[in-house]
Amino acid sequence: MAFYDGLMNMLGLKDACGESSGGNLSMADLLAATGDEDAGKEFFPFPSLDNLNEACANMPQSRDVTKGIENGFLSIKDDLKTVLDPITQPLSWLLDGALWLFQAVPWFIMIPILLYITWWVSRSIGVTIFVAISILGLAFIDHYDVTMQTLSIIFVCTGISILLGVPIGIAMSKSDRLQRSVIPILDLLQTLPSFVYLIPLIFLFSVTESKFYGIAIILYAIVPVIRLTDLGIRLVDQDVVEAANAFGMTSRQKLLGVELPLALPNIMAGVNQTIMMSLAMVVIASLVSAPGLGVNVLRGIRNLELGVGIVAGIGIVLLAVILDRTSKAALKRVDKAGKHS
């Protein structure tokens, strides 16, 4: 109890609660005043704000904490929106343009393009055949359009995540201070429940804007590529770096000619994880107007249409396997090229 009494003195609550009750109160008195007979008898009781508020009106309540967070966010909402709207508007244009392009191009042109990209990236006949069978199978059951919508969102969001994440990872690898300051943010983004990403965005952007779900997907998926880029460059053999220094290479030449090529397997692993996380978030983003296979999953849940939900779920699994196998095949190519060099 002495600890709590000292804490109350430090916060100035002892006198405040004493004034409302006719004299100074100890923590034991407050706990006893809550109506719990055993509260003051415990050796080290846990003081609940709501219970203490019943004994002392000057004590804050738990809801005051949540209300304070909400009021604080709402007080800066307009300023945030003014700053973020013009910065994020190109994301809406990219997403809308990609959605239009993937649906406007006829299937007999789009599918060969996707197969060529798969072959060019993976150089694997097996992976290319699997992609062809999967996409054609989804098209046969009239899921081609929603599949293309999901792919377009993944391409845009993953591409932006890589374009932003790799430079951030490089900067982190060059500065221990920057790494220490960024890691807590990455930990927060990685552990925050995916639905929570949508809550502040609802207040900042219209649900009808594509950037609304695009920002949520990017924030959720960008973490692996940042972490693994930083890790990959830090794991580069220092003897190789010293040799590059001995040849008189500049920092830029070392980065582009030595560090990035040697770190590429780790960076590609980060890209693979970013793609998977983008796909996972696309389904959740369907709750806030993101088109694609996730809409059918949501429809199956809302209307209890078992077949619709399961077929859409299988389509998402196929997309996940396609993207995973293709990126892993590309990673194997990178590893082989690194070993031969």
pLDDT digits (tens, 9 = 90+) for 235-248: 998 888 888 888 88
**Same domain as 44, residue 93:** no
Are residue 142 and residue 236 in the same domain, yes or no? Answer: yes
Within 8 A by CB and 6+ apart from 102, the residues are 110, 148, 149, 151, 152
Q: Is residue 71 part of a domain?
A: no
At position 100, the amino acid (one-letter code) is: W
**Within 13 Å, how many C-alpha atoms sit on residue 114's CB side?**
26
Q: What is the pLDDT of residues 224-283, one digit of tens each?
A: 999 999 999 999 988 888 888 888 888 888 998 889 988 988 998 899 899 999 988 888
Residue 6: give the domain boundaries: 2-60
Q: Which phi and psi angles does 64 have, rounded to 5°?
A: -65, -30
In a domain, 234, yes or no: yes
Residue given tokens 């939900």 in the structure block: 309
**How many CB atoms lie under 10 A from the CB of residue 41?**
11
Do 44 and 173 fall into the same domain?
no
The CATH number covering residue 145 comes to: 1.10.3720.10
DSSP state letter for 267: H
DSSP 42: S
Q: Is the pLDDT of residue 55 over 70?
A: no
Tell me: do 261 and 121 sit in the same domain. Answer: yes
**How does residue 62 score in pLDDT terms, banded at 50, 70 and 90?**
confident
Number of domains in the chain: 2
For residue 73, being part of any structural domain is answered with no
Same-domain status, 153 and 236? yes
* pLDDT above 90 for 13: no
Residues 182 and 309 in one domain: yes
Dihedrals phi, psi of 192, to nearest 5 degrees = -65, 130
- Residues 280, 226, single domain; the answer is yes
